[in-house]
Amino acid sequence: MDSPVVDKMYEMANRHKGFVQIHSMGGIFGGFEEVKVMATRYPHALTILSHCLPASSFQEVDQLLSEHPNIVCEVSAQGKIHMPLGRMFDENGLKSVWVDVIEKHPEQFFVGTDPCCGLDPRYGEIVEELRTRFLPYLKPETMKRVAYQNAVERFALPALD
């Protein structure tokens, strides 16, 4: 991440109070320490972590979000449709360790779908999985924030009435 191209993206995002979305897969790009460096260097740029930095533990994510309010987690590809064991949630719902982290940082999470890898035909199932195995395990106000309100506020979208 700490390269001239990515640095320039962050510089522009910082100047315009924009965002850089990091698609991190298994720690190949956008590792834990690298994300901290960029968040510190560019405090006015929002870093969106696709899949909530999947190579990191819930403890590391909690620490990262506690230290850097300019980092947010996009929750997609975290259930059984994308991965057999489900990182954050499975057929039993949202795992309690993740409930705690999300409730601690309700303004730093967003839902996402990511119908990658040939999963386009299962888009409806992905949305249903989020609606039944992820969102209902959050407090009502947190659920609202994560489902849409954070996106509306962070990206200055029209309010939903």
User: pLDDT tens for residues 8-66?
Assistant: 999 999 999 999 998 764 554 546 788 889 999 999 999 999 888 887 889 999 999 99
Q: Is pLDDT of 77 > 80?
A: no
Domain 4-154: which topology?
A: TIM Barrel (3.20.20)
Strand pairing category for 89-90 and 93-94 = antiparallel
**Integer Cα distance of 20 and 12 in angstroms:** 9
Query: According to the model, what pLDDT value does residue 142 have?
Result: 97
Could you tell me how many residues make up the chain? Answer: 161
User: pLDDT tens for residues 99-127?
Assistant: 999 999 999 999 988 877 777 877 787 78
What is the value of pTM for the model shown? 0.88
